[in-house]
C-alpha cells in the first residue's frame, strides 16, 4: 500500500512538472546558459570545499606517507608487491590461483558480441534515422544471435583396466644320460716298433688331467697283439703293454690299424643309459584363480625316436602346449579426445574405488565442455530508434524499468503452489525427489550417461529407464549427486553408475539444490542417496531471497509478460475511475 501511494505521488509530481515545463519552454541555448549560471553560483557558494575538510575522509592519513619513497625508487614497488602477494587471498583471487575461473575462447566472445558489433559498425541503420529528441525512429530486426549455448560435464576414465588375454604354457620331455662306461687301452713305450698300440706319450696328458688311469695290469707284447686283434710279428717280443682305463673314447690315440672293436681301445666296461622325465611351466597358470584352461593340452612334438649320446630313445610325444584365458590388469585411458579439445577445461578427478585403499585404481576425470550449437530462436528481435535519446551527439538509452519484485513474487507463489502439489501427508515432507541412475562401461563402448543437453552416445544399449532419465535431465528436472562403482573384476571397477535426484519441476530442483546448504542438509553418497524431501520445519527455515531463480524466470516470462510498473499503476487508476464513474452515474 505504501508503495502504491508513493507511486501515485510520483505520478502527480511528474504530471505537475510536465505542466510547468510546457508553460516555460526553453530553447537549447537558454538551457545551456541557465546551467552555466547554476555552476558559477555553486562554485561561489559557502558549501565549496575548504582547507581541513580532507580530515573528514575516512582513512585519510595526510600527504607524508611511506609510499612516497617509491617516487625515487620505483623498482622497490615490484619487490614489495611480490612479498605482499605471498599468501594474500585477494591476490590469489585476482590471478585465479586455483584455476577455477571460467575461461572463454576468442570464438566464444565473437559469437556472443556479434550482434553488438553489427550495431556498432552501422549505428545509423539500426537507429533508424533517430532525431535529436528521440521522437522519430523505426524498429529494425537484429542479426541472428549465436543461439543458446551452455556447458555440460563430460567424463572419461584413467587408471587400471581388467583385460582378457590368451596365454599358454608348455610341458616337455627332458633326458638325463647316466654313463658308467669306461674304455681299456693297451699302452706301449713311446719308442716301440712294429705295433699299432697306443704310445705312452699319448696317454700321459690324459693321465695328468684325470681322464685316464693305469689299471696295474700288463701284458707281453705278443699277447697284447692278440688282445687288440693284430697279428703277431717279430717285434712284439721286444716290449711289454700296460693297461689303462679311460673315461671316454679318445680317437686321437688311434694308430695305423684299429683294434677288433674298430676303435683305438680294445675293450670297454660299464653301461650308458638315458633316463627321461617330464618338465612343465603350467603350474603357475593352473594355480592362478584369474586363469581358466581352454581345453586339454595338445602335443606339439612327436611321436619320434631320438638318439641321445648314442642311445636311441623313443617317445609318443616330446612336448605339449596348454591354452588359458586369463584376466590381467593393464593401464588404460580414454581421455585423449577431451585432453586434446581446446574447448574443454579439466575440472576435477573423482576416484571410483569403493572403498579406496592406497593409490586410486580408476579415476573419473571431469571436464567442462560447451554444449553443441543450438538453433537460434525463430522469433525476430528488434532494436528501435526511439529507445535512444540524443542531444548534441550525446546519446543515452531510455530505460523502462519493469517491476523488480514481480518475478520474486511469482517464484514465491509457484514455490508454495508446488509445495502443495508435492506434499506427502504420510511423511509430512515436500519436494521429495526420485532416485534414478544410468550406467557407463569404463573403457568400453556403452555409455548411457551423456549429461544434460547432450544426446545419448549409445541409446541402443540403454534401458528405457535410462532413456527417460536422459529426457528428464535435459528438461532441468534432475540433479547429479555423483558417480560410484557398480561392478568390479579383480577388485578394479569396470562399470560405474551416475546417481541423480529428479523432481517434479525445475523449481523443486532449485529449491532442493540451493536450500540444502542453507539448513546444513548435505547430499548422501551417490550409492546411497534417496532424494528425501524437506520436512515442514526445514522448508520454513529456507530463505528464498538468497536463492538464484534466474533459471526459471524465463519460463515465467513465457507464460506472462512482466508488467511495466508505471503502466500498471495507470491501468489501476483508470479502473478505479471507471468504477466511480459507473456508480455515480457519470
Give the pLDDT of residue 584: 62
269 DSSP β-pair partners = 182
Give the pLDDT of residue 325: 94
Structural domain spans, the chain: 101-150+384-400, 151-163+332-370, 181-270, 412-569
Q: What are 444-499's pLDDT values in tens digits?
A: 778 898 877 777 878 888 999 999 999 999 888 999 999 999 998 888 899 999 99
Looking at the whole model, is its pTM more than 0.85? no
The angle formed by the CA atoms of residues 130, 133 and 138, to the nearest 5 degrees, is: 30
b/e map of 155-188 (b: 16 or more CB within 10 Å)? bbbbbbbbeeeeeebebbbeeeeeeeebbbbbbb
Give the pLDDT of residue 545: 82
Give the pLDDT of residue 219: 92
Place of cell 698300440: 197
Flag residues of the chain having pLDDT under 70. 1-26, 28-29, 32, 35-36, 39-50, 99-102, 123-149, 373-420, 554-570, 579-581, 583-586
Q: Could you tell me how far CA 381 lies from the centroid of its own chain? A: 40
Give the pLDDT of residue 169: 94
Burial of 323 (0-12, 13-18, 19+ CB in 10 A): middle
Give the pLDDT of residue 362: 92
Give the pLDDT of residue 375: 54
Backbone angles phi, psi at 72, to 5 degrees: -95, -15
Q: What are 169-195's pLDDT values in tens digits?
A: 999 999 988 888 889 999 999 898 888
Amino acid at each position: 500500500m505504501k508503495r502504491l501511494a508513493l507511486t501515485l505521488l510520483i505520478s502527480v509530481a511528474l504530471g505537475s512538472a510536465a505542466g510547468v515545463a510546457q508553460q516555460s519552454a526553453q530553447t537549447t541555448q537558454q538551457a545551456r546558459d541557465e546551467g552555466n549560471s547554476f555552476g558559477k553560483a555553486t562554485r561561489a557558494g559557502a558549501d565549496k570545499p575548504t582547507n581541513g575538510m580532507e580530515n573528514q575522509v575516512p582513512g585519510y592519513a595526510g600527504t607524508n606517507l611511506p609510499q612516497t619513497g617509491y617516487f625515487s625508487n620505483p623498482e622497490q614497488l615490484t619487490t614489495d608487491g611480490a612479498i605482499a602477494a605471498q599468501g594474500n587471498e585477494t591476490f590469489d583471487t585476482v590471478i585465479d590461483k586455483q584455476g577455477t575461473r571460467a575461461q572463454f575462447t576468442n570464438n566464444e566472445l565473437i559469437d556472443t558480441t556479434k550482434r553488438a558489433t553489427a550495431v556498432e559498425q552501422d549505428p545509423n541503420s539500426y537507429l533508424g534515422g533517430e532525431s535529436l529528441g528521440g521522437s522519430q525512429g523505426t524498429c529494425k530486426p537484429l542479426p541472428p544471435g549465436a543461439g543458446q549455448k551452455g556447458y555440460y560435464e563430460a567424463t572419461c576414465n584413467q587408471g587400471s583396466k581388467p583385460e582378457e588375454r590368451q596365454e599358454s604354457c608348455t610341458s616337455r620331455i627332458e633326458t638325463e644320460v647316466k654313463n658308467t662306461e669306461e674304455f681299456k687301452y693297451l699302452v706301449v713305450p713311446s719308442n716301440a716298433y712294429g705295433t699299432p698300440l697306443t704310445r705312452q706319450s699319448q696317454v700321459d696328458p690324459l693321465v695328468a688331467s684325470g681322464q685316464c688311469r693305469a689299471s696295474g695290469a700288463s701284458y707281453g707284447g705278443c699277447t697284447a697283439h692278440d688282445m687288440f686283434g693284430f697279428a703277431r710279428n717279430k717285434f712284439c717280443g721286444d716290449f711289454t703293454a700296460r693297461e689303462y682305463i679311460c673315461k671316454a673314447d679318445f680317437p686321437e690315440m688311434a694308430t695305423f690299424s684299429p683294434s677288433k672293436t674298430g676303435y683305438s681301445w680294445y675293450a670297454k666296461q660299464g653301461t650308458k643309459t638315458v633316463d627321461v622325465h617330464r618338465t612343465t611351466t603350467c603350474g603357475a597358470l593352473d594355480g592362478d584363480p584369474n586363469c581358466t584352461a581352454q581345453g586339454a593340452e595338445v602335443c606339439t612334438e612327436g611321436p619320434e625316436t631320438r638318439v641321445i649320446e648314442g642311445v636311441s630313445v623313443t617317445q609318443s610325444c616330446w612336448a605339449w602346449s596348454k591354452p588359458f584365458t586369463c584376466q590381467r590388469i593393464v593401464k588404460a585411458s580414454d581421455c585423449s579426445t577431451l585432453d586434446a579439445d581446446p574447448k574443454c577445461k579439466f575440472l576435477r578427478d573423482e576416484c571410483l574405488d569403493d572403498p579406496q585403499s592406497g593409490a586410486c585404481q580408476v579415476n573419473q576425470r571431469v571436464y567442462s565442455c560447451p554444449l553443441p550449437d543450438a538453433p537460434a530462436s525463430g522469433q525476430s528481435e528488434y532494436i528501435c530508434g526511439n529507445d535512444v535519446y540524443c542531444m548534441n551527439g550525446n546519446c543515452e538509452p531510455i530505460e523502462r524499468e519493469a517491476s523488480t519484485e514481480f518475478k520474486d513474487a511469482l517464484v514465491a507463489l509457484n514455490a508454495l503452489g508446488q509445495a502443495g502439489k508435492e506434499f506427502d501427508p504420510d511423511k509430512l515432507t515436500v519436494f521429495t525427489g526420485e532416485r534414478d541412475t544410468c550406467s557407463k562401461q569404463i573403457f568400453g563402448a556403452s555409455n548411457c550417461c551423456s549429461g544434460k543437453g547432450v544426446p545419448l552416445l549409445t541409446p541402443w544399449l540403454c534401458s528405457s529407464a535410462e532413456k527417460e532419465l536422459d529426457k528428464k535431465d535435459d528438461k532441468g528436472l534432475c540433479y547429479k549427486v555423483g558417480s560410484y562403482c557398480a561392478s568390479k573384476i579383480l577388485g578394479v571397477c569396470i562399470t560405474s553408475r551416475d546417481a541423480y535426484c529428479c523432481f517434479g519441476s525445475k523449481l523443486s530442483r532449485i529449491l532442493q539444490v540451493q536450500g540444502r546448504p542453507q539448513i546444513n542438509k548435505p547430499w548422501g553418497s551417490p550409492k546411497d542417496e534417496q532424494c528425501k524431501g524437506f520436512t515442514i520445519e526445514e522448508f520454513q527455515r529456507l530463505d528464498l531471497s538468497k536463492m538464484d531463480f534466474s533459471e526459471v524466470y524465463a519460463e515465467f516470462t513465457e507464460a506472462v509478460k512482466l508488467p511495466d510498473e508505471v503502466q500498471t499503476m495507470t491501468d489501476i487508476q483508470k479502473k478505479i475511475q471507471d468504477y466511480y464513474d459507473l456508480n455515480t452515474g457519470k
